[in-house]
Structure 1
Amino acid sequence: MTAFPGSIAFDEYGRPFIIIKDQEKQSRLTGTEAIKSHILAGKTLTKILRTSLGPKGLDKILVSPDGDITVTNDGATILKKMDVEHEIAKLMVQLSQSQDDEIGDGTTGVVVLAGALLEQAETLINKGIHPIRIADGFESAAQFAIGHLNSIAETFPFDQNDLEPLIKVAMTSLGSKIVSKCQRQMAEIAVNAVLAVADLEKRDVNFELIKIVEKVGGRLEDSTLVNGVVVDKDFSHPQMPKVLKDVKIAILTCPFEPPKPKTKHKLDVTSIEDYRELRKYEAEKFETMVQMVKDAGATLAICQWGFDDEANHLLLQRNLPAVRWVGGPEIELIAMATGGRIVPRFEELSSEKLGYAGIVRELTFGTTKDRMLVIEECANSKAVTVFIRGSNKMIIEEAKRSLHDAMCAVRNLICENSIVYGGGAAEISCAIAISNQADRISSLEQYAFRCFSEALEVIPLALAENSGLPPIKTLTDIKSKQVAENNSALGVDCMLQGTNDMKQQHVLETLHSKKQQIQLATQLVKMILKIDDIRSPADSEI
């Protein structure tokens, strides 16, 4: 029974309501104080992520309630696995997630930028400027920044015969990850996987055709890209052939077993003759099912459900290799890759519904004789599988996240081949342009523009700080060089290559990603500045 800090009364209709005691002693933050409380929550969350920004960013270790350990510096993953209570902090988590869903990269940077904007907004509130004026000023500054990004953007040279530029972009994305020791190999896997499923005419990439399969054991260097489908299953009988060529595949979602009596009916076996009749009926049904598959011309049966030993033995005798207990997503991917149709009933099976694969082989590896099935040279060669190996589950999970980020970076360049330079170069260029624009504004918006400019500088400051460089000196040097040389490609030399020119270091970011970061961060800050109260159901009078 729940205890309430009050008593229950009833109205004239007999409906209960609670009289809350000491209501006048309870406080609620409203107005400016509430906004400052929201800003504090956002800043606190940002401080956690700020140290993970950049190629030299630090990793976070996260322990789930079940004791599972995650080690990562991926902003979206850190926030997703954190136990966040404050409502504004939850909005920051959703901000990172939306950046991850839309772009797949820049999840840490967007939260750091939002936190910096909140910090600057607090300064303006303390000066007596109304939050709505600040929000509108930030919106205008964001639009100006996006316009400036369009002016400094360059076209990325993309040629299917020369993949080196794309590989370098993928390597940039992988530079801060655990997999950086085999950076080149993982970058090549990411580029080849994306190009295999890309429609270059429509500039579209279907990530559903890229399946990532992991297996604990081996080294990261053993990871590979398979032009087909890898299924974590083996042939249903150990004596079935391990390699099949020119395979016609029947993809079934019906089990190899006789029909069972419905729930309303009962089958009584009272004598040996009855039992023999039942066995004969089952054997005939098995024969009929196998014959239907053979008559359709199939040389391999892939079944979503299982079948018993009798059916398995019969399949072996009739020279029909089979795979059982294949999951729904794998069944769909096999159907897409092989050009086959998923068949729910044996009676509907025909030669037109069969899928085709050039080779189906059983892959054996590891000291425990682990087996997996590889379906290659499919009719629709667009489906590919990235097969990841690693010494433990933690490294494999981080490798999956890293590869996803790299593939998203390549996908973004194929969809829109406009780039700006990374290492904080684009942010510094925008900050200089917005600061100059603020000098031309006579209204109150000039304060918001200057604060937006200072917030953008937090990104290169954090990059320099995480790389062990003196942050303020590094930032001022780069700003003065950008102004003097009129070169928007100068950024923070995080990898200590000896040059601040990101064009030489080939540190690139897609224009779409950078614009999305600024837009999302500004929209969230604008929303937070307009929330002057949080009323939860527990606070309401009943």
Structure 2
Amino acid sequence: MSAFPGTFAFDEYGRPFIILRDQERQKRITGTDAIKTHIMAARQIASTLKTSLGPKGLDKIMVSPDGDVTVTNDGATIMKLMEVDHEIAKLMVQLSQSQDDEIGDGTTGVVVLAGALLEQAEGLIDRGIHPIRIADGFELAAQCAIKQLDAIAQPFPVDPKNKEPLIQIAMTTLGSKIVNKCHRQMAEMAVDAVLNVADIEKKDVNFELIKIETKVGGRMEDSMLVKGVIVDKTLSHSQMPKELRNVKLAILTCPFEPPKPKTKHKLDVTSAEDYRALREYEQEKFTQMVKQVKDAGATLAICQWGFDDEANHLLLQQELPAVRWVGGPEIELIAIATGGRIVPRFEELTPEKLGVAGLVREMAFGTSKDKMLVIEECKNSKAVTIFLRGGNAMIIAEAKRSIHDAICVVRSLVKDSRIVYGGGAAEISCSLAVAKEADQLSTLEQYAFRAFSVALESIPLALAENSGLHPIETLSELKARQVAEKKSSLGVDCMLSGDSDMKSHNVVESLHSKKQQILLSTQLVKMILKIDDVRSKNEGGM
């Protein structure tokens, strides 16, 4: 039987079949040892990310197998680019990704909190408490923390006429990012973009209407918000006008070229007369296509496909500016912005299907030949484009991630307009509430509550450490002041301004984001504590 590695069972005919393959080449860890292995892997990930937390957090250099370099302190990006083999480490990556997909912010904090919870769980396991009791206790403690967040949350009315509070929140999000040298400008762009596309009454934000375009070169301060669409294309002919006013756009997904016979038969051209006839037919078809577009009243043709030089020259002669090779998503965005219809055949083009834009212009960059097409003053003013500039591709990529985070936070506030104070203030308040609740319990869960309370303190501790403060001293002082002054807005003074009141600094966070961090990390920890079996190959270990 040694020829068949694995664990066997036999069917009714006596034939062996494998249940678990390669068993003799694997070692198996079960029970408490397995859980400790899981905790070790998760803590390793959390400790890597902890130094990136807060406005003074450090950036990480990530190098891909192809040699591409990414410099970032965005938790979700770091986690995505880390090459991890351990299954629990992969779960931590997914945790960060879930926070990024749902909220867009707090991706580092959620991993740090999960790591701290697991660290506390390990201590409780060593004291002989069963992992299931710990997991259940953590879940109850999380509910207690959520209740405290609701209690300290403050209403934050989202008013498009008063954008300043929203800008302050976006600035809090961008405080730890590379873009903080043009901090306010980026925050204003993010807020304006969201408010342009938001439906305040329905509390809904359509992200599809916000497009982020980038171009290497220039300064970060050259970035701007365009109330319209920017397309990385130019007009098809260099002699076409560079600026068009009161434009009617024909948005086409049919090419400017003669129709091809839809048959397997081939056409042989045997004489000069046949060639001339074919040539005249093509010319006639080109002219007919251009005439159909002109007759519909279009003053600009946006085409998904390309067209040859002959068609291009004819378009110039007929004074019909055109743009070719515009991608599908861009065409859809142009159609939404201009209120036009995408037309698949020239015969179907009518004046009602044309899009409307007040201004279409080519935008040039410095001394380079790079140009982009800007479509502004559109019929549907909701579609916006954030246009980012920067010295190199790495800075632009980080700026794009940063602005995405800011947009997500503002969107969260449109959906749930309640806030808590940042700088670890909310975590300290929740920690005090959970510790107080633990004193009321007589069951074994009180140990899990106290452990959860200590784990929540990991966020302000990490913030203090990354800011160059003494962590334990800072935390002890803040806890004492929060109890004495009954002020839940006291947090870590990361900027060393001498004032720990986050309210005066406008350091605020979305309540929805903070709740999600606590819930997601608790759910992951509960899942890890319930996995008691792990198999690994002897040669590679864990």
- Structure-1 separation of matches of 2:14 and 2:268: 59
Q: Which residue of 1 is the match for residue 525 of structure 2?
A: 525
Task: Report the residue type matching 1:119 in the other structure.
Answer: E
Task: Report the residue type matching 2:288 in the other structure.
Answer: T
**Which residues of structure 2 form unaligned runs of 5+?**
none
CA contact under 8 A between 2:27 and 2:538: conserved in structure 1?
no
CA contact under 8 A between 2:29 and 2:535: conserved in structure 1?
no
Q: Which residue of 2 is the match for residue 369 of structure 1?
A: 369
CA contact under 8 A between 2:215 and 2:388: conserved in structure 1?
yes
CA contact under 8 A between 2:26 and 2:538: conserved in structure 1?
no
- Structure-2 separation of matches of 1:156 and 1:104: 19
- Cα RMSD (Å) of the superposition? 2.3
- Structure-2 separation of matches of 1:72 and 1:24: 43
Change (3 A) 1:366 1:18: same
CA contact under 8 A between 1:157 and 1:165: conserved in structure 2?
no
Q: Which residue of 2 is the match for residue 267 of structure 1?
A: 267
Q: Which residue of 1 is the match for residue 331 of structure 2?
A: 331
Instruction: Kindly state the Cα deviation for residue 27 of structure 1 after the two structures are TM-superposed.
Output: 2.6
Q: Which residue of 2 is the match for residue 147 of structure 1?
A: 147
CA contact under 8 A between 2:54 and 2:466: conserved in structure 1?
yes
Change (3 A) 1:4 1:397: farther
Instruction: Kindly state the Cα deviation for residue 534 of structure 1 after the two structures are TM-superposed.
Output: 3.8
Instruction: Kindly state the Cα deviation for residue 369 of structure 1 after the two structures are TM-superposed.
Output: 2.2
CA contact under 8 A between 1:261 and 1:267: conserved in structure 2?
no
- Structure-2 separation of matches of 1:167 and 1:58: 24
- Structure-1 separation of matches of 2:258 and 2:219: 45
Instruction: Kindly state the Cα deviation for residue 67 of structure 1 after the two structures are TM-superposed.
Output: 1.1
Task: Report the residue type matching 1:342 in the other structure.
Answer: I
Change (3 A) 1:440 1:11: closer
- Structure-2 separation of matches of 1:278 and 1:121: 81
- Structure-2 separation of matches of 1:138 and 1:18: 40
CA contact under 8 A between 2:27 and 2:535: conserved in structure 1?
no
- Structure-2 separation of matches of 1:364 and 1:63: 33
- Structure-2 separation of matches of 1:78 and 1:181: 22
CA contact under 8 A between 2:95 and 2:520: conserved in structure 1?
yes
- Structure-2 separation of matches of 1:433 and 1:5: 55
- Structure-2 separation of matches of 1:321 and 1:22: 67
Change (3 A) 1:340 1:536: farther
Q: Which residue of 2 is the match for residue 481 of structure 1?
A: 481
Query: Given the alignment of the two structures, is residue 469 of structure 1 paired with residue 469 of structure 2, yes or no?
Result: yes
Instruction: Kindly state the Cα deviation for residue 79 of structure 1 after the two structures are TM-superposed.
Output: 0.3
Instruction: Kindly state the Cα deviation for residue 295 of structure 1 after the two structures are TM-superposed.
Output: 1.4
Query: Given the alignment of the two structures, is residue 378 of structure 1 paired with residue 396 of structure 2, yes or no?
Result: no
Worse overlay, 263-272 or 226-235: 263-272
CA contact under 8 A between 2:26 and 2:537: conserved in structure 1?
no
Worse overlay, 145-154 or 253-262: 253-262
SS at match of 1:168: helix
SS at match of 2:450: helix
- Structure-1 separation of matches of 2:15 and 2:445: 53
Task: Report the residue type matching 1:184 in the other structure.
Answer: R
SS at match of 1:301: strand
Q: Which residue of 2 is the match for residue 295 of structure 1?
A: 295
- Structure-2 separation of matches of 1:269 and 1:250: 35
Instruction: Kindly state the Cα deviation for residue 159 of structure 1 after the two structures are TM-superposed.
Output: 2.7
Q: Which residue of 2 is the match for residue 511 of structure 1?
A: 511
Q: Which residue of 2 is the match for residue 84 of structure 1?
A: 84
CA contact under 8 A between 2:28 and 2:535: conserved in structure 1?
no
CA contact under 8 A between 2:26 and 2:535: conserved in structure 1?
no
TM-score by length of 2: 0.95
Query: Given the alignment of the two structures, is residue 212 of structure 1 paired with residue 220 of structure 2, yes or no?
Result: no
SS at match of 1:361: strand
- Structure-1 separation of matches of 2:421 and 2:529: 31
Instruction: Kindly state the Cα deviation for residue 10 of structure 1 after the two structures are TM-superposed.
Output: 11
Identity %: 75
Task: Report the residue type matching 1:155 in the other structure.
Answer: P
Instruction: Kindly state the Cα deviation for residue 537 of structure 1 after the two structures are TM-superposed.
Output: 12
- Structure-2 separation of matches of 1:45 and 1:74: 14
CA contact under 8 A between 2:429 and 2:488: conserved in structure 1?
yes
SS at match of 1:27: strand
SS at match of 1:28: strand
Q: After TM superposition, what 4+ stretches of structure 1 lie above 3 angstroms from structure 2?
A: 3-26, 534-539
- Structure-1 separation of matches of 2:226 and 2:315: 28
- Structure-2 separation of matches of 1:214 and 1:32: 50
After superposition, what is the alpha-carbon deviation per residue over 1:54-93, rounded to whole angstroms, capped at 9, x for unaligned? 0000000001111111000000000001111111111110
Q: Which residue of 1 is the match for residue 48 of structure 2?
A: 48
Instruction: Kindly state the Cα deviation for residue 15 of structure 1 after the two structures are TM-superposed.
Output: 7.7
